[in-house]
Structure 1
Amino acid sequence: MAPTIIHSVLLFDGTSVHHDATVSFDSSTGLIISVSKEKSGFPQGATVIDGNGHTLLPGLIESHMHVHGLHLPEGSDENDILRSPLRSGVTTVCDMHSDLGAVNKWRDRVAEELKQAKAGSTSVSLSDLKTALLGATIAGGWPGPIVLGPNPTDELKAYVSTWPTLTEENAAEFVKKHKAEGADYIKLMQENCCSLALPTDSIPSATLELQTAVVKAAHAESLPVVGHATSLGSTEIVLNAGADGLTHTFIDQAPPQSIIDLYKKTNAFVIPTLVVLSSLTGEFQEDRDRFADIAFKRGVVDQGTRQNMIESLSLKAPEAKMEYAFETIRKLKQEGIDVVAGTDAVAGLKGTGIGPSLWHELEWYVKKCGFSIPEALTSATATPARRFGFGDRGVVAEGKRADLVLVKGNVTEKLQSLWEGEGIVGVWKQGFKASG
């Protein structure tokens, strides 16, 4: 196939800004051919796009979502679970707790779509998928209570009963099985409920010894480990166990210097998930309303998802608040801790929309957490690729995957260009143009 060439474009390559760049890529290999400043001499038959007045970015990476459809409202199109993020410029999503059946269903759909594109359909509609598969759950522990809810159905009870029951003795077996089934990383669950509208320690919580055993087993298999924690105490356990990153920040108290020091000591990263935490606390309703309207008007989500994005979980403990999260991320960022963009979006989870919630998350990094716009963009491109070991993506460079987003305007100076005005005018995954 002839290459696609975007010239005279402002390029954000994942870490740096380059003016008047030319990027050439090929769908037959799915790779970027070259990054240069050439403006002529393009191969005959190439698709040539004048990028003047536009910004070209690596495909965004949503580093915390869930691909299952447990909360999907009746009548919703489940294809939007991976279709809405691609429409939002998110070419890779990182699932953080879904069963093998759900994951394999999406793996098959993504692979079949790519096969059809190579056979001549020439377009794609679904984001790429990375996954932890099911997390390292314990009997009666998180996230069972939130999934089951106050009136669980027999079907939900049966589903939760299939989850792993981790012990120190079976940790290595759990990790080996997950690796064999294609897990890209391992997810810990550490929850004592003190940030939530549930009594503190009302559910079983994993021990430091168990979490350490899981981390040791995962690292022996060269798998990164991330951990759920919404309180300071739970965060300390995950960090002391040796995890590579946290999948939330905590909201139960202001960050003491000791937790900043522990992050620095362990070199762990953090996925803040400010969007879902604000839904949990019920704060910042105006922002939920705004991004829900934007996503709906741009045709990224349907009316049901728009309404879901407006609603909030409102399940916080009395003392929990978002300012603790903002302060923590500000301090961690100032100390050089890697921040990786993710939202914990789930189809049907109140306050979230897979895809557009990442826009919301990035805006808060800039407005609430002291990030420059390029730093925020790096948190959704080069940094997650580096920290999760996705060496083929996250940057625009020769030989990397042709996962690209073209936006009208200068996104590095005005982040809102991602969703305002003409917004995103082109998305490519492995060199194939995303369909509308």
Structure 2
Amino acid sequence: MSTAITNVRLFDGLEVHEKATVIFEDGKIKEVRLAKDQEVKADTVLDGRGKTLLPGLIDAHVHAKSPALEQNMLFGVTTALDMFSFPEWMNDLRKQAASRFDVSDIRSASCGGTVLNGHPTMLIGKYFPTQFPVVASVAEVGPFVAKRVKEGADYIKFIIDSGSQFSHSHPSVDEDMAKTFVQEAHKHGKMAICHALDANSAKIAVRAGVDGLIHVFYDVASDDEAVQMIADAKIWVCTTIVTLGALAGESTGNNVAEDNRVMNILPPKLHNNLTCCWGPKRSPASTENALSITRALHKAGVPILAGTDACGIVGLGAVYGASLHGELRYLVEAGLTPLEALRSATSIPANKFSLRDRGVIKTGLNADLLLVRGNPIEDIHDIMEIDSVWRAGHLLDRKKTQADILSIVGTE
């Protein structure tokens, strides 16, 4: 069965074409026409006038638990990149993604590399049911990475976090360990990705040779040296402003929680989660710092990826799917144009994570598509005006997915 969307504004993941026709069949993009007034033959023809067609969105930072994959799809997120999960969770989610088209696709780092009593130990008993594997020395890093690769990790993540962004102090991966994490990841042909929330940790990660930073640092409003180091090293940064603000005690989730297009879809439990934060204000970290550093990184030419750090009910201030829309709004606030923000959730993460079959609307690639009413190139809020979502050419029944999510999370 073939489907054609005609007369549509097309954001192909890179550029905008004001009037286009996109035809897809058997899960793949069959043809992209930019010329006008051509005859279209397809089993289903949809008139896209007044609408914008985009690649399915990519959330470059989640911690996936059910109903993450359903919830992503509800908001047009067709691929999610998990950054720390137990393999037994991920195996089930991978099976779902491989066998169903009403859930998003998923990639994962499996367990992230950290030390005993280091971040995220404080989430044991809340998000993590038991103690996760840790490293105690440089000598343990190689076996740790090899185990993650054997578990099916798509990339390797490790954590440099002393707690200084919140005026705390706890154990952390040190610089020698960081270098070894990078070396071992690269030895296995995997990207090395680092969690670093303060400028000093980010500098350690850069010196270690990481491929990307999975948060923007935000203990300071400016650090020209750190920004320049990141730019010179050609490292990408996934911002996660929606969760960073909530971690610092600020209600960053309200930028979408108060949107009727979210309120009318999310179950109350999930909506309430959006309005919360992780506790009282904690300094020196702040949302304003995260916005300021993002602005500086963007100005320096650093590739920006959009990610939420959503991790279910435990992750206060962020939810799967909807919070990526909130992150895009924050990226625009930080100085990206709406077009640049949309690239940060489509072609840029696809490129950086070598997802060569998605992120761009091009002949032969996956028909992972998002059709919205209005023009998000002019107003990023229009990305929430969802008309239709397809994964591998299969149209999502959004009402059924909404009901499925409610059955999973409950009404309380």
In the superposition, the TM-score normalised over structure 1's length comes to 0.86
Alignment pair present for 1:128 and 2:105: yes
The Cα shift of 1:131 comes to: 0.7
1:136·1:166 contact (CA, 8 Å) conserved in 2?
no
Partner of 2:402: none
Amino acid at match of 2:19: D
The partner residue of 1:46 within 43, 47, 50 is: 43
1:275·1:343 contact (CA, 8 Å) conserved in 2?
yes
Partner of 1:432: 394
Measured against aligned partners, the alpha-carbon deviations of 1:154-175 in whole angstroms (never above 9, x if no partner) come to x96x611x42436322333333
3-state SS of paired residue (2:59)? strand
1:289·1:309 contact (CA, 8 Å) conserved in 2?
no
Amino acid at match of 1:7: T
Amino acid at match of 2:389: V
Partner of 2:138: 168
Alignment pair present for 1:372 and 2:337: yes
Amino acid at match of 1:232: A
The Cα shift of 1:15 comes to: 1.3
Partner of 2:230: 263
Extract unaligned runs of 5+ from structure 2: 399-412
Cα 1:338–1:289, aligned 2, differ >3 Å: closer, same or farther?
closer
Residues in 1 aligned to 2:114 and 2:351: alpha-carbon distance in whole angstroms? 26
Q: How many residues align?
A: 396
Extract unaligned runs of 5+ from structure 1: 69-77, 114-123
Partner of 1:20: 19
Partner of 2:260: 294
The Cα shift of 1:191 comes to: 0.6
The Cα shift of 1:61 comes to: 0.3
Alignment pair present for 1:407 and 2:386: no
Alignment pair present for 1:230 and 2:197: yes
Partner of 1:311: 276
2:197·2:219 contact (CA, 8 Å) conserved in 1?
yes
Residues in 2 aligned to 1:41 and 1:166: alpha-carbon distance in whole angstroms? 65
Residues in 1 aligned to 2:234 and 2:72: alpha-carbon distance in whole angstroms? 29
Partner of 2:116: 139
The partner residue of 2:300 within 322, 325, 335 is: 335
1:60·1:380 contact (CA, 8 Å) conserved in 2?
yes
Partner of 2:405: none
2:98·2:105 contact (CA, 8 Å) conserved in 1?
no
Cα 1:384–1:290, aligned 2, differ >3 Å: closer, same or farther?
closer
Measured against aligned partners, the alpha-carbon deviations of 1:174-205 in whole angstroms (never above 9, x if no partner) come to 333322322111111111001126x32xx211
3-state SS of paired residue (1:222)? coil
In the superposition, the TM-score normalised over structure 2's length comes to 0.91
1:292·1:309 contact (CA, 8 Å) conserved in 2?
no
Partner of 1:74: none
RMSD value, Cα: 1.9
Cα 1:292–1:97, aligned 2, differ >3 Å: closer, same or farther?
farther
Partner of 2:206: 239
Residues in 2 aligned to 1:229 and 1:210: alpha-carbon distance in whole angstroms? 14
Residues in 2 aligned to 1:245 and 1:304: alpha-carbon distance in whole angstroms? 33
1:9·1:56 contact (CA, 8 Å) conserved in 2?
yes
The Cα shift of 1:403 comes to: 0.6
Residues in 1 aligned to 2:240 and 2:186: alpha-carbon distance in whole angstroms? 25
Partner of 2:215: 248
Between 256-265 and 334-343, report the one with greater CA deviation.
256-265
3-state SS of paired residue (1:130)? strand
Residues in 1 aligned to 2:73 and 2:366: alpha-carbon distance in whole angstroms? 15
Residues in 1 aligned to 2:307 and 2:371: alpha-carbon distance in whole angstroms? 21
1:295·1:306 contact (CA, 8 Å) conserved in 2?
no
3-state SS of paired residue (2:395)? strand
The partner residue of 1:362 within 294, 311, 328 is: 328
Partner of 2:86: 99
3-state SS of paired residue (1:126)? coil
3-state SS of paired residue (2:60)? strand
